[in-house]
A and B are shown apart, each in its own frame.
Chain A
């Protein structure tokens, strides 16, 4: 079977990965980069109830409320697909935090300004904890995203735990426009690694204890695990990151590793804007070329991701097909608008299916997992049950 996936955000890459594991020849058609570079890499399953209260156990929330939202899974289904997702990331070389094998509840992860937000699972480099604990909060002089006094004071006020604020003076190589990504490039170099190790050691000299060191998300790209290991050895404490504004180094690490792994397995990328989806394949708008397919999966994102487009006249369009999308016309419904899981010639996955408001509810990980798994079941049927599933692909 030849599957064309339109879009390369998290839902698109997951679809491509799984369709390939299930034996399909896979093409990713994309007009632009996906959203991974805007995101730290934390997967939310259900962070907030409809009332806005924090959800402790997302599995339980889906047990109780899933059916009302059209999600037909029981706990066993969730766990089966969760396990596959976790193994998929691990095969692509994306490490999950310890204890994330099968989490039972939401944990806490910090924002750059010292707030805590619930999160279900993070990559190994990001700090997340069951309960707030005393921390060393590190900022960088010359990185505006890290307002250290504000962040540590707020963390203390919200949790009652000490947050020792430490600001590292900037290195000679520093340039005013440096984002977290540029910092990560610097600490990936040998002089940068040395500078960081020395600056941190010096800054923490007078602080006894083993509380974790929270760094802005800039601890290197492919070399990040090695660097974190070296810093932990030098400092005798755990070292983890907190998320920054984009370009987001965490999502870039995930994007690079995942795409490399998929390319090594033979997934093909075709650039271009898809303007029409038909039974026989997708047609590109600029060239008119047809990319033949037995099945098309739209992973184009919702109104924020660009999968839907709102015209000045208030009409909503599916950007992948050009079709008009019915909606109430009320702005408050816009985030939940979508095209459904199935169209005349496609399946849809991720936010574009509509009915979810992932930014408000904190459930994008679950929505991606559920919609992608459902598409796999629709396309591959029985094969998804076990036999046809390949776990053995090598990582990068």
Chain B
């Protein structure tokens, strides 16, 4: 990895780490990443306790002034520590690092509601499980393009979470982009994982295999004229857009990979925003936006701009760098407490005020909803609701229609 030995010991990564700032036993990114790695290369790198307590949020890496791949060095450290895992944990992590299996049969998560099973697998009994939100059929008239003319094409990436648990958000994104004037097709057809979950758990070789299979599937399904591959999950966005080429040995895809909300800000026509804003869907209510830790690799504030542009009444970012969910992290029993401590400030911030949360990852939405007691969904879902309201206000009766559900799984 480039720059792995560039650490200046400045400590800026430590000041960025959400786990270090909640858990007194956590040695922090500098010690677990570059310092361990130097010893490891010298053959004196003993495995350190608590390396698995790292959420792989990558905030340390984003903060480092000299580009040390801090979090990815920690992932190697985790990989070296894998043989120390007990076998129930191995079983558990095998399932958690194959979200593509869960996406095919989301009903499986119900089994883990049985406390003895969860206990044995060291699954958290505290962290809420996602519920399945299956899309209703979409009306054709509500999806009419707001602009005419030839329609450029985009591919919409179907991530495991949305495939398994939130086809509503997936179809909302598809319908919105059609309204923006694009032809949309979903990739990949079959349930696959980009490798994010395995990488976060230190299963680097497995991540490489999963990513390779996913890359093949996507390449095979791209038609060659797409202007972008659109993602709904910040973690998959970061994995496909950045880690595949930088850390997993894959070539960049032939299209730019762009989060849905960024695409919407760039490509939705002005008329769309004015129509939605005029509908004034949430008078007196709050919209909290949260850019997930992995989303921050691109920056912070675009979700806030999206909610404002859509005319939401009062918009406020959550004061969190990371909510603590971190993919499957919060579902592991040994991490439940830290995950909840990290996200807890959201509850204090929201306290007593009505409103909803817009967040660019499904697992973070589940976690925030539990902590803050407010409905948390993907921005595509909220934007689509606002658009539907604006359309019913304009009194055109929607005609029934239905296509576009993911072809694999989804129920």
Interface residue ranges, A against B (CB under 8 Å):
31-33, 37-38, 173, 175, 177-179, 181-182, 185-186, 221, 246-248, 252, 255, 260, 263-264, 266-272, 306, 396
Chain A residues with CB under 8 A of B319: 260, 396
Q: A33-B15, A181-B20, A266-B301 are in contact. List 8 more A-B contacts (CB 8 A).
A: A32-B67, A33-B62, A175-B24, A177-B28, A181-B14, A185-B24, A248-B15, A272-B299
**Alpha-carbon distance between A195 and B185 when the two chains are bound, in angstroms:** 59
Chain B contacts of A186 at CB under 8 A? Answer: 24
Query: Which residues of B from 13 to 41 have beta carbons under 8 Å from A?
Result: 14-16, 20-25, 27-28, 31
State which of B72-80, B111-119, B302-310 sits at the interface with chain A.
B302-310
Chain A min CB distance to B253 (Å): 13
Residue from the list A181, A272, A306 in contact with B15, Cβ < 8 A: A181
Does the CB pair B63–A270 fall under 8 Å? Answer: no
Those of B277-314 within 8 Å (CB) of chain A: 296-302, 304-305, 308
User: In the complex, what residue of chain B is closest to A171 when comparing beta carbons?
Assistant: B24
Q: What residue in chain B is nearest A173 (Cβ atoms)?
A: B24
Give chain A residues whose Cβ lies under 8 Å from the Cβ of B14: 179, 181, 247
Cβ-closest chain A residue relative to B62:
A271
B64 at the interface (CB under 8 A from A): yes
Decide: A263 near B12, CB < 8 A? Known: A185-B22, A221-B21. Answer: no
Which residues of B sit under 8 angstroms from A221, Cβ to Cβ? 21
A236 to B197, CA, bound (A): 53
Question: What are 26 A-B pairs at a CB distance below 8 A?
Answer: A32-B66, A33-B15, A33-B62, A33-B64, A37-B12, A37-B15, A175-B25, A178-B24, A179-B11, A181-B15, A181-B20, A181-B21, A182-B28, A185-B23, A221-B21, A246-B15, A264-B317, A266-B301, A268-B301, A268-B302, A269-B296, A270-B298, A270-B299, A271-B297, A271-B299, A396-B319
Tell me, rounded to whole Å, the shortest Cβ–Cβ distance linking B261 to chain A. 12
- What is the bound-complex CA distance between A318 and B361, given in angstroms? 37
CB-CB under 8 A from B296, the residues of chain A are 269, 271
Say which residue of A177, A248, A269 sits within 8 Å of B301 (CB atoms). Answer: A269
Given contacts A33-B63, A269-B301, contact A177 B27 (CB under 8 A): yes
In angstroms, Cα B12 to Cα A177, docked, is 16
At the interface, yes or no: B10 with Cβ under 8 Å from chain A? yes
Chain A residue contacts of B299, Cβ below 8 A: 268-272
Chain B residue numbers with a CB within 8 Å of A182 are 20, 24, 28
| Chain B residue contacts of A175, Cβ below 8 A | 24-25
- A306 & B317 in contact (Cβ 8 Å cutoff): no
Q: Does B220 contact A (CB under 8 A)?
A: no
Chain A residue nearest in CB terms to B305: A268
CB-nearest residue of chain B to A257: B319
Q: Is the CB of A32 within 8 A of B304?
A: no
Enumerate chain B interface residues (CB-CB to A < 8 A).
10-12, 14-16, 20-25, 27-28, 31, 62-67, 296-302, 304-305, 308, 316-317, 319
Task: Identify the interface centre among B21, B66, B302, B317: most chain A CB within 10 Å of its CB.
Answer: B21
Q: Which residues of B contact A173 (CB under 8 A)?
A: 24
Known pairs A32-B65, A175-B24; A263 contacts B16 (CB<8 A): no
Contacts of A271 in B (CB 8 A): 62, 296-299
Chain A residues near B64 (CB-CB < 8 A) = 32-33
A264–B316 CB distance below 8 A: yes
On chain B, the residues within 8 Å of A396 by CB distance are: 319
A266: chain B residues at CB < 8 Å are 301, 304-305, 308
Known: A247-B15, A306-B65. Is A267-B301 also a contact (CB below 8 A)?
Answer: yes
- Distance A147 CA – B160 CA, assembled complex (angstroms): 54
CA distance A255 to B63 in the complex (A): 13
A33 touches B16 (CB 8 A): yes
What are the residues of chain A within 8 A of B62 when measuring CB–CB? Answer: 32-33, 271
* A270 vs B300: C-alpha distance when bound (angstroms): 6
Q: Which residues of A contact B66 (CB under 8 A)?
A: 32
User: Of B20, B67, B317, which is within 8 A of A263 by CB?
Assistant: B317
> Would you call B15 and A252 a contact (CB within 8 A)?
yes
Select from chain B the residue with minimum beta-carbon distance to A289.
B256
Chain B residues closer than 8 Å to A179, beta-carbon distance? 11, 14
Residues of B within 8 Å of A264, CB to CB, are 316-317
Instruction: Given A33-B65, A268-B302, decide whether A185 and B308 contact each other with a Cβ distance below 8 A.
Output: no
- In the complex, how many angstroms separate the beta carbon of B236 from the nearest chain A beta carbon? 17
Docked CA distance A273–B66 (Å): 11
With a CB–CB cut-off of 8 A, which chain A residues contact B15? 33, 37, 181, 246-248, 252, 255
Interchain CA distance A173-B24 in the complex, whole Å: 8
Given A33-B65, A37-B12, A263 and B300 contact (CB-CB distance below 8 Å): yes
Whether A263 lies near B304 (C-beta < 8 A) is: yes
Measured CA separation A175–B23 after assembly (Å):
11
Task: Note all chain B residues with C-beta closer than 8 A to A177.
Answer: 27-28, 31
Is there contact, CB below 8 Å, between B12 and A32?
Answer: yes
Instruction: Please name the residue on chain A nearest to B321 by beta carbon.
Output: A256
Q: Which 5 A-B pairs have the closest CB atoms?
A: A268-B301, A37-B15, A33-B63, A270-B299, A247-B15
Cα-based distance from A267 to B11 in the complex (angstroms): 26
Question: Are the C-beta atoms of B298 and A38 separated by less than 8 Å?
Answer: no
Smallest CB gap from B349: residue in A? A396
Closest residue of B by beta carbon distance from A33: B63
B28 to chain A, nearest CB (A): 7
Which residue of B is nearest A189, CB measured?
A: B24
When chains A and B are docked, how far (Å) is the Cα of A1 from the Cα of B375? 36
A38 touches B11 (CB 8 A): yes
A292 to B31, CA, bound (A): 39
What residues of B have a CB within 8 angstroms of the CB of A31 in the complex?
A: 65
A12–chain B nearest beta-carbon distance, Å: 13
Q: Report the minimal beta-carbon distance from B110 to chain A, rounded to whole angstroms.
A: 36
CB distance from A222 to the nearest CB of B (A): 8
Q: With both chains docked as a complex, state the minimum distance between the C-beta of B343 and any C-beta of chain A, in angstroms.
A: 15
Minimum Cβ distance to chain B for residue A197 (Å): 18
Q: Which residue of B lies closest to A178 (CB)?
A: B24
In the complex, what's the smallest C-beta–C-beta distance from A332 to chain B, in angstroms? 23
Enumerate chain B residues within 8 angstroms of A248, measured Cβ to Cβ.
Answer: 15
**Nearest chain B CB to A36 CB, angstrom units:** 9
Nearest CB on B from A31, distance (A): 8
Give the distance to chain A from B262, nearest Cβ to Cβ, in Å.
Answer: 10
Give A194 to B250 CA distance when docked, in angstroms. 53
In the complex, the chain B residue whose C-beta lies closest to that of A25 is B305
State in angstroms the CA–CA spacing of A95 and B153 once bound together. Answer: 53
Q: How far in angstroms is the closest Cβ of chain A from B58?
A: 11
Report how far A238 CA is from B149 CA in the complex, Å: 72
Q: Is the CB of A37 within 8 A of B11?
A: yes
Which B residue sits closest to A255, measured CB to CB?
A: B15
CB-defined contacts of A306 to chain B, threshold 8 Å: 65
| Shortest distance from the beta carbon of A237 to any chain B beta carbon, whole Å | 28
A268 to B303, CA, bound (A): 9
